[in-house]
């Protein structure tokens, strides 16, 4: 459907509307028609599915559409101006009914992603931008006793922090506590697409602390541990994508999830027995044949491993060749079994 005016005219005249896909065509954008039509929209009892790919719609416009929906089920708002207003309506009105949600947007914040993962129990398909490891665990946060003498109480549930924008009151090395983020509740997830940015990149070092580098290393280890722990609980997962989808975003920095067997935590993911696709394209991995063999042996439904296996070109060619041989063998075996 092209043309904002025509689109809203149809929406306004369709009280039984259930699903809407909206992509801007070649027609000019009539702002006046949009501002006139939006306030005239009434709630739709059956309007549950919405897919928009239009940067012309503002956060307020998306908020209006979400507010008119009833028990939203499938939402694709990627590449839109989805912002704080839309997010608030999404959480308040639709968090209990969401089944599929895609938010590949510049504006989506890491903290908002964590809130969605810890709120929307029914999610089966979720894709968003960058999740920082500091949402899952903070090492060196003040303990409850220490925080009483600090201006910012990091242990408070009311503590609000915009992770994705990199503005912080946190200073690594102020305390001895460990602050854990909430566990993900969407344990029925089948598809997950996130870029994990780990390594404490958004925690400020306290230059006066002699052990700040030790604390930062501890933070890095904890971020890897708790990210793998959350993923290991998603036992229904079929497709895991951890790639940089918005390359120009200023906050795509940090250490990626390390899929290493030795010295890593790959074995934590042995619970993902339904996984058929893992995609780490764009991340910096150092995988050997050992890791690829482990994946084939522990994920019986595995069909595709996508991405660069190793940053060393020679090693990557060797591992890729071993993967292709194993994949061909598996496909041939599966084909014979299905005859």
Confidence of residue 145 (pLDDT cuts 50, 70, 90): low
Domain boundaries, the chain: 1-77
pLDDT digit string, tens, across residues 42-88 = 555 556 778 887 777 789 888 988 888 888 899 999 888 999 999 99
274 CB burial (10 A radius; 0-12, 13-18, 19+):
middle
pLDDT of residue 45: 59
Is the confidence at residue 260, as pLDDT, over 70? yes
Q: Model pTM? A: 0.80
Distance (Å, whole) CA 150 – CA 174: 9
């Amino acid at each position: 459907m092209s043309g904002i005016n025509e689109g809203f005219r149809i929406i306004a005249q369709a009280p039984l509307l259930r699903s809407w896909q909206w992509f801007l065509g070649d027609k000019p954008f009539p702002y006046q028609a949009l501002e006139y039509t939006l306030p005239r929209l009434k709630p739709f009892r059956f309007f549950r599915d919405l897919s928009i790919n239009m940067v012309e719609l503002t956060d307020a416009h998306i908020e209006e559409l979400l507010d008119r929906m009833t028990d939203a089920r499938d939402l694709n708002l990627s590449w839109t101006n989805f912002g704080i207003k839309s997010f608030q309506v999404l959480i308040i009105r639709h968090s209990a009914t969401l089944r599929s949600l895609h938010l590949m947007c510049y504006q989506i914040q890491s903290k908002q992603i964590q809130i969605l993962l810890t709120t929307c129990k029914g999610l089966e398909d979720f894709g968003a931008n960058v999740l920082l490891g500091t949402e899952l665990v903070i090492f060196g946060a003040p303990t409850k006793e220490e925080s009483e003498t600090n201006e910012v109480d990091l242990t408070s549930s009311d503590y609000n922090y915009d992770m994705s924008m990199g503005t912080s009151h946190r200073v690594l090395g102020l305390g001895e506590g460990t602050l854990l983020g909430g566990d993900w509740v969407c344990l029925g997830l089948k598809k997950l697409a996130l870029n994990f940015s780990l390594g404490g990149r958004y925690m400020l070092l306290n230059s006066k602390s002699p052990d700040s580098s030790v604390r930062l290393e501890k933070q890095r280890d904890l971020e890897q541990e708790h990210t793998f722990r959350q993923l290991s609980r998603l036992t229904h997962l079929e497709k895991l994508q951890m790639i940089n989808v918005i390359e120009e975003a200023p906050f795509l920095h940090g250490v990626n999830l390390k899929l290493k067997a030795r010295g890593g935590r790959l074995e934590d993911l042995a619970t993902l027995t339904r996984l058929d696709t893992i995609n780490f394209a764009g991340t910096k991995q150092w995988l050997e044949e050992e890791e690829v063999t482990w994946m084939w042996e522990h994920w019986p439904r595995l069909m595709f491993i996508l991405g660069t296996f190793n940053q060393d070109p020679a090693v990557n060619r060797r591992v890729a060749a071993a993967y292709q041989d194993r994949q061909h063998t598996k496909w041939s075996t599966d084909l014979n079994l299905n005859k």
